[in-house]
Amino acid sequence: LKKGQEGVDVFDSIWNKVYDTENANQKEKFEADLKKEIKKLQRYRDQIKTWIQSSEIKDKKALMDARKQIEREMERFKVCEKETKTKAFSKEGLGQQPKTDPREKAKAETRDWLNSVVSDLENQIDNFEAELEGLSFKKGKQRPPRLVHLEKSITRHKAHIKKLESILRLLDNDELSPEQVNDVKDFLEDYVERNQ
């Protein structure tokens, strides 16, 4: 409950920053932070829902309130996300988008795609780590297979993220072309979807 409340407070302060800043780049950064924070809150909500269903806990009022509070923040986030998408879309609709060089456009699309893969893998790592925290075993006993599997997955994900970040740098420095990066697109998407 304490973590949930802290998460809501952090979400609140980032929310204010999103709407207070005029700088488009900063706004984008804060929106990304907001997304990260809401993902965290959603995990807390899932945990709270599990506790609410548990018969061991008699007084569930505090849990119900915490769940409602997180769900309110989720609604607020939806509004923010919708506004962001609408603004970008309406600019395109009005034809205000500057004409970009096709090479730069391809590079930007590939960069966005690479960033989204990194973000997906980071979210999976967060989920693995959350699950790891819930796994316990006695010292000296054999480690549960699931625990070993999760640790291996985290290590492998981190190695892939490192590689992806160096690919991003090479792409930005024109040492790799978008076409070369796109050659591994199917493999990467398959890995993100099916690594478990």
pLDDT digits (tens, 9 = 90+) for 128-138: 998 888 887 77
Name the token pair of 31: 């929106």
| pLDDT band with cut points at 50, 70 and 90 for residue 153 | very high
| pLDDT band with cut points at 50, 70 and 90 for residue 89 | low
* Weakest mean pLDDT among 85-89, 112-116, 152-156: 85-89
Half-sphere exposure of 186 (CA within 13 A, CB side): 1
19 contacts: CB under 8 Å, gap ≥ 6: none
| pLDDT band with cut points at 50, 70 and 90 for residue 86 | low
Q: What are phi and psi of 183, to 5 degrees?
A: -60, -30
Domains of the chain, by residue range, sit at 1-90, 102-194
Cα-based torsion angle of the residue sequence 36, 155, 48, 81 in order, rounded to the nearest 10 degrees = 20
